[in-house]
Structure 1
């Protein structure tokens, strides 16, 4: 029997008391500092929590000790910090009382999806219903039980953080190694991209609108949101379009060995089709199709690695247009020159880089797979540990 089971059997065998969130916290004052203002402030040592993923560091602090931060609009996002900190005007902040602060954070994280679905309302940008939020009932076991749960979940969190740090270090190592490999290419055979590949994208939207997207069908439409970090396409997230729309343009119909590059918003995400798509597939206007003209001269996987290198990232920065929403235009992309060594050298380079790429980015193997497994394990145990029957 585990220590936690012993504590539960001893201290709360018949269930635990449920209390309103309002009984477990003291609200902090509403902030008068917006996220944009904080971003422009002098850099400091105190974290400044926003309603998004960004965390700034400034010279001022508003609260000290254990505090929890919840954004009041958009969707549920919950953060915890123990120490001096500040927060934005669209963040609800409170100090835990009569409860282990980290336990309260974990129980709120367990209910994050519920909070997002049931308590954020509105037709445009959703806002949290504070009355429902603060009246939400939460299980409150004895303090010893809370502390043991926190100890277990903290260990899971620490392990995940260590794996993520290792992955980040491996990714930097991989990027450095890839750059060194490409730097060492000794060739006078510099090819214009249009000499070695077909470069095509949907002309405008060809009047294709989101209203035409289908949730089932026989023809996939790839958008910029379907790209995966390992260089593949997640067809499970693809929408469908009609046969007429698929037949409209053969130049953007996707096939094995095609390389895809995002051209609007988040520029330069790259994927390669290692197999034929599971269904006939085309592209929306935000994605380029790069199709090698002669595979006896150019190895598609080599081209993929070049497009994921710093060389191409720097090129994109030099030719992109648009200040608010950046764009990589076809006019800009077709100015690209690429070093093309002998075919056997391209294959050798690709095989070397594939091994590193798999370790860093493959979602079925390597570190990403282990991190995903740990995440699922953590969520399973978190939900199990934080589920209590109510004391009657």
Structure 2
């Protein structure tokens, strides 16, 4: 018998009380942040952290629950934050419920199934969320469940540390290059595609690169080449890069950059973009509601240009390290995926309480 089973047998042998969410936490809406100055306080929307400001809506700990948009996203925040109107925060009654326990329970609820919107954009209402029934065992049981379930997060923290280590190593290696910098326009052909997202066909033959992290599919291709692709506007600007070698289709607001193989190694170029392009674009981008790229910015992006031999050696070294950190078929990411499955299994099991009857 596990310690949790022992605690349940001793403290609540007849079952666990279930309460409506509104009796253990108060749901509070968000609002715009644009009146505030820049700072270190994260601003959350339903997609995650949007920016940082100098003013907080709440100090935490809190569980953030989506109102519209990405309604499967739930965040735990233990510190000051601001939230916009696409996500709620919760003021948790800690005399009744451990905040981390509440977070695990809400993840287990799969609240995306409670979508109330008839339109294309999913939404949740405060009324629907308030009515969710929460198992509230004795605090000692809650704390032991938190201890077990939080242990699964440790490996993900190691991955983040490994990614930071890789970024430092990559940037240090690239910053140590002493060669002159050359504008990208002299080293690569740059252009866009002709398709729109609505052209995508599930299960089609060719990769169709748009502006997101995952490619779509089409039954026709535009190019057959080695290229690096980046988003031309939207949330992926300066962050989304695809390395392509073969046939593919391209969105009208995504850019393809095809290195001149006699001057620029394509994998070296890919690593330079990942290291420095975001900061460059954020300094030079055109901002309206979202950041966007103009071709001239790409033309002028400076590339350090050592010999091809040195470029290839740097690319080989960085490829090895990148695979260690990010290859989903082996190493740490594969282990993390296995741990995530374990977490989901134990979360479902540990939170499956017998309800106490009156």
Question: TM-score normalised by the shorter chain: which range applies?
Answer: 0.7 to 0.9
Q: CA–CA distance in 2 between the matches of 1:176 and 1:353?
A: 10
Contact 1:71 / 1:77 at 8 angstroms: preserved in 2? yes
Q: Which of 167, 172, 176 matches 2:162?
A: 167
Q: 1:230 — aligned with what?
A: none
Q: Residues 35-54 of structure 1 correspond to what in structure 2 (within 5 A)? A: 35-36=32-33, 40=36, 53-54=48-49
Q: CA–CA distance in 1 between the matches of 2:200 and 2:208?
A: 8
- Structure 1: any 5+ residue segments left out of the alignment? 228-233, 247-251
Contact 2:114 / 2:124 at 8 angstroms: preserved in 1? no
CA gap 1:349/1:161 in 2 versus in 1, 3 angstroms: closer
Tell me the SS of whatever aligns to 1:376.
helix
Q: Higher strand proportion, which one?
A: 2
Q: CA–CA distance in 2 between the matches of 1:67 and 1:101?
A: 7
Q: Residues 357-372 of structure 1 correspond to what in structure 2 (within 5 A)? A: 357-372=322-337
Q: CA–CA distance in 2 between the matches of 1:345 and 1:127?
A: 52
Q: 1:300 — aligned with what?
A: 266
Q: CA–CA distance in 2 between the matches of 1:292 and 1:63?
A: 49
Tell me the SS of whatever aligns to 1:324.
coil
Contact 2:207 / 2:248 at 8 angstroms: preserved in 1? yes
Per-residue deviation at 1:353?
A: 2.3
Tell me the SS of whatever aligns to 2:292.
coil
Q: CA–CA distance in 2 between the matches of 1:34 and 1:148?
A: 36
Q: Residues 135-146 of structure 1 correspond to what in structure 2 (within 5 A)? A: 135-146=131-142
Per-residue deviation at 1:349?
A: 1.9
Q: CA–CA distance in 2 between the matches of 1:49 and 1:214?
A: 33
Contact 2:156 / 2:336 at 8 angstroms: preserved in 1? no
For the pair shown, the structure with the greater C-alpha radius of gyration is 1
Q: CA–CA distance in 2 between the matches of 1:272 and 1:160?
A: 28
Q: Residues 59-78 of structure 1 correspond to what in structure 2 (within 5 A)? A: 67-74=62-69, 75-78=71-74
Q: 2:320 — aligned with what?
A: 355
Per-residue deviation at 1:117?
A: 2.4
1:6 aligns with 2:3: no
Deviates more, 1:357-366 or 1:130-139: 357-366
CA gap 1:106/1:177 in 2 versus in 1, 3 angstroms: same
Per-residue deviation at 1:283?
A: 0.8
Q: 2:230 — aligned with what?
A: 261
Q: CA–CA distance in 2 between the matches of 1:83 and 1:383?
A: 28
Contact 1:72 / 1:128 at 8 angstroms: preserved in 2? yes
Size of the aligned set, in residue pairs, is 351
Contact 2:178 / 2:306 at 8 angstroms: preserved in 1? no
Per-residue deviation at 1:387?
A: 2.2
Q: CA–CA distance in 1 between the matches of 2:139 and 2:342?
A: 25
Contact 2:16 / 2:354 at 8 angstroms: preserved in 1? yes
1:19 aligns with 2:19: yes
Per-residue deviation at 1:336?
A: 4.7
Per-residue deviation at 1:149?
A: 0.7
Q: 1:271 — aligned with what?
A: 242
